[in-house]
């Protein structure tokens, strides 16, 4: 009798770990005979995935942050390749982190391992030449943005838009007061949310400017609640230390970033998945971002899209302000937030655009649709045999 099929799963940061865990749960519901191993975080571990490496090993962003970690990243890639060679998984599910996962995919392909790629790389935004590599390496591309499927299919990649996992990961719409109550905040107090990101490099580069903007706004609105969700990857002291001397006393909430946005009158959000989550909470927001000068200069040469924020990319126009690099100043951020605090045309237009984005993402059930597609790569389950007495 053959052993149960094994699946290699590789995720490298918090949102990828969450998406991968939901996909593993959906696969186990359909095929209880499957077992999983690979790299990920707490959510994959909670699904019973045997983690050879933790997601933190490769969770870096930007050229200057990556360089010192390259030796360890290569060690991890080699370790995963050796594990795949020893265990011969029925397929691999590679989640996001394209710089790592596409190189790993090339090694797995040589071993004859079929590859499903979840959270497709944003090569339509930059490095479009990579699509030929993807067509050669990836057997199923599972897209979470609706316009990606056609882009990949035109290049010969077997792609499917499975829906956005973010749609079901954010709570159902409710009033700001009800979210404040759930978080233990004063329900009737004006509230500003600051979402600086989940990487230390983001806390260093982005949070001090957010604090500067909050200081200006608190000066204009005494009693303003400033709330910061703290990612599990960040020590609370790293957040608090950046408020010292500002006169702003933040309320820190463990995780629960979408609820924090839901509790707010307006939010300042670092670009990335968090900005899409924030947009789905239907609250006015300003998207900000800053990377090292070298990373920015290289990115600017390669970037092929008009917008950076996922909300704006999905809408096909500027729904939310984007303040990047030198434009990300306390004054500019505060100015944009002032326009959005109160009812009026700017606020209403933005909320209408955010509603449009939510409808474009379609129905919940991304993990289930992704699981159906992954199962196409697996051998059929062996029929259960009745035991002979």
How far are the Cα atoms of 262, 269, 311, 316, 319 from residue 349, in angstroms, in the given order?
18, 19, 14, 15, 8
Q: Is residue 184 included in any domain, yes or no?
A: yes
What is the pTM (predicted TM-score) of this model? Answer: 0.74
Q: Is residue 1 included in any domain, yes or no?
A: no
Range from 43-52, 246-255, 256-265, 319-328 carrying the lowest mean pLDDT: 319-328
Which domain, by its residues, includes 101? 6-163+365-376
Q: What is the mean pLDDT of residues 213-218?
A: 95
- Residue-wise pLDDT for 139-173, tens only, equals 999 999 888 898 899 889 999 999 988 888 889 88
**224 shares its domain with 124:** no
d(C-alpha 6, C-alpha 79), whole Å: 17
Contacts of 184 (CB under 8 A, 6+ apart): none
For the chain, the maximum distance between any two Cα atoms, rounded to a whole number of angstroms, is 81
When the pLDDT of each residue in the chain is averaged and rounded to a whole number, the result is 87
**250 shares its domain with 277:** yes
- Residue-wise pLDDT for 166-200, tens only, equals 888 889 888 999 999 999 998 889 999 999 988 88
Residue 243 is encoded by which pair of tokens?
């408020």
Q: What is the CATH number of the domain that holds 291?
A: 3.40.50.2000
Q: Is residue 383 included in any domain, yes or no?
A: no
How far are the Cα atoms of 93, 103, 192 from residue 245, in angstroms, in the given order?
47, 45, 19
Spatial CA neighbour of 37 closest among 14, 11, 6, 13:
6
**153 shares its domain with 255:** no
Can you give the pLDDT at residue 59?
67
Structurally, how many domains does the chain consist of? 2
**180 shares its domain with 151:** no
Q: Is residue 386 included in any domain, yes or no?
A: no
**344 shares its domain with 369:** no
Measure CA 144 to chain center.
11
Q: Which residues of 236-265 are buried (b: 16+ CB within 10 A; e: fewer)?
A: eeebeebbeeeebebbebeebbbbbbbbbb
What is the number of other CB atoms lying within 10 angstroms of the CB of residue 342? 11
**370 shares its domain with 249:** no
Report helix, strand or coil for 268.
strand
Q: Is residue 345 included in any domain, yes or no?
A: yes
Long-range contacts of 183-186 (CB under 8 A, 24+ apart): 183/227, 183/253, 183/256, 183/259, 183/260, 183/263, 185/225, 185/227, 185/251, 185/263, 186/225
**149 shares its domain with 185:** no
Residue 80 is encoded by which pair of tokens?
């995963």
Spatial CA neighbour of 58 closest among 72, 37, 43:
72
Contacts of 108 (CB under 8 A, 6+ apart): 8, 81, 84, 92, 115
**374 pLDDT higher than 60:** yes
Report helix, strand or coil for 373.
helix
Q: Is residue 385 included in any domain, yes or no?
A: no
Report helix, strand or coil for 347.
helix
**279 shares its domain with 227:** yes
Q: Is residue 272 included in any domain, yes or no?
A: yes
Please give the residue that has the higher pLDDT: either 3 or 271.
Answer: 271
Q: Is residue 381 included in any domain, yes or no?
A: no
- DSSP annotation of 8 reads E
**21 shares its domain with 82:** yes
**100 shares its domain with 123:** yes
Range from 82-91, 242-251, 271-280, 329-338 carrying the lowest mean pLDDT: 271-280
- DSSP annotation of 199 reads S
**196 shares its domain with 159:** no
**287 shares its domain with 188:** yes
**336 pLDDT higher than 90:** yes
Report helix, strand or coil for 222.
coil
């Amino acid at each position: 009798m053959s052993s149960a099929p094994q699946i290699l799963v590789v995720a490298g940061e918090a949102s990828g770990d969450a998406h991968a865990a939901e996909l593993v749960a959906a696969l186990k519901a359909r095929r209880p005979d499957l077992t999983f191993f690979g790299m990920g975080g707490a959510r994959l571990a909670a699904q019973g995935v045997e983690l050879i490496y933790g997601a933190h090993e490769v969770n870096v962003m930007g050229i200057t942050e990556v360089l010192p970690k390259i030796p360890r990243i290569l060690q991890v890639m080699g370790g995963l390749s050796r594990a795949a060679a020893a265990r011969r998984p029925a397929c691999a599910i590679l989640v996001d982190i394209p710089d790592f996962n596409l190189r790993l995919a090339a090694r797995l392909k040589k071993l004859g391992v079929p590859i499903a790629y979840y959270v497709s790389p944003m090569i339509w935004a930059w490095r479009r030449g990579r699509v030929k590599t993807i067509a050669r390496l990836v057997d199923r591309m599972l897209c979470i943005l609706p316009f990606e499927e056609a882009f990949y299919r035109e290049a010969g990649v077997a792609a499917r838009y499975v829906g956005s996992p973010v749609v079901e990961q954010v709570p159902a719409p409710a009033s700001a007061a009800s979210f404040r109550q759930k978080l233990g905040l004063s329900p009737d107090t004006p509230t500003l949310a600051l979402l600086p990101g989940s990487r230390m490099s983001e806390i260093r580069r982005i949070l001090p400017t957010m604090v500067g903007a909050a200081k200006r706004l608190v000066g204009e609105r005494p009693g303003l609640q400033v709330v910061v969700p703290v990612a599990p990857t960040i020590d609370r002291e790293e957040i608090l230390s950046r408020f010292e001397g500002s006169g702003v006393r933040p309320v820190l909430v463990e995780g629960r970033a979408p609820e924090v946005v839901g509790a707010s009158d307006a939010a300042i959000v670092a670009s990335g998945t968090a900005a899409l989550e924030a947009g789905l909470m239907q609250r006015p927001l300003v998207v900000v971002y800053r990377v090292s000068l070298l990373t920015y200069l290289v990115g600017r040469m390669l970037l092929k899209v008009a917008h950076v924020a996922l909300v704006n990319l999905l809408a096909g126009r500027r729904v939310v302000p984007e303040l990047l690099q030198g434009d990300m100043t306390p004054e500019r951020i505060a100015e944009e937030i002032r326009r959005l605090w109160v009812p009026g045309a700017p606020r209403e237009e933005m909320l209408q655009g955010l509603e449009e984005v939510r409808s474009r993402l379609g129905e919940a059930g991304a993990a289930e649709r992704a699981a159906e597609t992954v199962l196409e790569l697996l051998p059929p389950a062996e029929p259960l045999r009745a035991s002979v007495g």
